[in-house]
Amino acid sequence: MAHRALIAIIFFVGFGSFSTNIEAQPYEFAIYPDAWFNSTDGVRLGARFLGEMQGTFKDGPHRVDAGIWLATKLPEKPVSYYLSYTNPIPAISSYMNEGSVQLISSVRTGYSVHKLQINKRWQRGFQELDYIEASMFTSRQGHFDAEYQPYRYLWQQGWRTMIGANIRISEKFDRSQFFGDITVQRNVDNNTINYSTATITLNYVINYSGDYKIRLRNFLGFTSDLATPEFKFLSTNGAPVEWQWNAFSRASGTVPTTWLNDGFIHIEGGANLRGYQAYMSELLATIENSPGGQFEFPLHHQSIALNAEIDFPNPLHNKLTNIKYLGDLIEFRTYTFIDVSRGKGTTVLSDPNVEVFPAVVPPKVESVFESEQWLADAGLGFQFSINIPDYLGKDRGIFVRYDLPLWLSSTMNNESNFKFRNVIGFGAIFNF
């Protein structure tokens, strides 16, 4: 199969090159034990591996970021892994402006991705936060086991062959910071309906005065009408395919299922209407617990959103930042927020494990998420983070939010627009 051939190429190129060069320069491996949990695997035990040529400080050839794990409940596929191999391309590289080829292979939690990617970075001097990064890629990816997914209706099983490109832009100014991300993809499988997807995310932070900051985020998402459901957009979270890159959302059970179904958990991404998480979770739980069938669901093929937060000072943040050595890594934010979004289009969802004969019009799931309706929420929030930026200055840490969406523009069942609501969020709304 095509994906097996790609795995073979990754291992041949990666470890073949490794064995050729290790005699010329010592190679360093750092190994870290790793454990995680989900309902299907149980406790997943393994290790992470980081490898590079000695003294290159993640700027040399043959860089490896990998992990391998064994599921203690011994499901059908008990071994899972992740492998990223990066090698510079001298013809398009210079100091701090690397061009590279990257090979990625991952099989875990019922989802498989095998990707070949060409990367190029342009950086302004030693300013790690002033850069442009571009990449072109082709991938073979597929969902093969619905048992892992908390909401199986959002997925269509089978393989996808994708080609695409990504551009990331970061600018650091005296009192502000900007980050932009643009990704476009197209499905190019033969004998299937081809479709395209595109997302644009723009983040701004303005240091207004002292501890007061204004954070703005714009999100635009587009897919073809006939795109498979995992690439379309929820009003509250990112596209389901993005959940695979978040350790808390890639499989059911890591976060308690009752918390998820009650709308107590919010995973950042997409339109980020965090105040509507309870409504969306109720819809998802309703169809998940229904017998095999079809439903017209507010999974949009177009999405537009604005998220805004205003930070204000709090004494706990000041105490944490004064801790010796740790103060620069720890942050406790307090903020007010507002989210505004509109989605267009609906999607007919089917249970991937049940053959459905669409002889009748699928029932429409009633909700506040009507196509082309503007929705908004507002409230207070708190975020605790431990962030150790990587060698390029990008965020790398744990972000936990507690948000209180006290006002919603639209409600159901005569519920008051003003009401005490709360959600716990994993991941920062504003990533840099």
pLDDT by residue (tens digit) across 17-26?
343 344 457 8
pLDDT of residue 287: 87
pLDDT of residue 7: 45
pTM: 0.89
Strand partners, 87: 101
The whole-angstrom separation of Cα 370 and Cα 286 is 17
Strand partners, 215: 205, 309
Nearest-CA neighbor of 235 among 296, 276, 264? 276
Expressed in percent and rounded to 5, the helix, strand and coil fractions of the chain are 15, 50, 35
pLDDT in tens, 378-409: 999 999 988 777 766 666 778 899 999 999 99
pLDDT of residue 363: 72
The whole-angstrom separation of Cα 187 and Cα 223 is 11
Give, as one character, the DSSP assignment of residue 94: B
pLDDT of residue 277: 96
H or E element: which one contains 179? strand 176-187
Q: What is the CA 232 to chain-centroid distance, rounded?
A: 14
One DSSP character per residue, 243-280 reads GGGSTTTSSTTSS-HHHHHTT-EEE--TT--GGGHHHH
Q: Are 287 and 308 in contact (CB under 8 A)?
A: no
Strand, coil or helix: what is 119?
Answer: strand
Q: Burial of 232 by CB count in 10 Å (0-12 exposed, 13-18 middle, 19+ buried)?
A: buried
How far is the first Cα of the chain from the last one, in angstroms, to the nearest whole number? 38
The whole-angstrom separation of Cα 168 and Cα 163 is 17
Ordered alpha helix ranges (H), 22-168: none
Q: Where are the beta strands (DSSP E) in 54-175?
A: 63-71, 79-88, 99-108, 111-124, 127-143, 158-172
Over the Cα atoms of the chain, what is R_g?
22
pLDDT of residue 392: 65
pLDDT of residue 430: 76
The whole-angstrom separation of Cα 262 and Cα 95 is 50
The whole-angstrom separation of Cα 31 and Cα 66 is 10
Q: What are 234's two structure tokens?
A: 């929820």
Residue ranges of the chain whose pLDDT lies below 70: 1-24, 325, 327, 355-361, 391-395, 432
Q: Are 187 and 160 in contact (CB under 8 A)?
A: yes
pLDDT of residue 19: 38
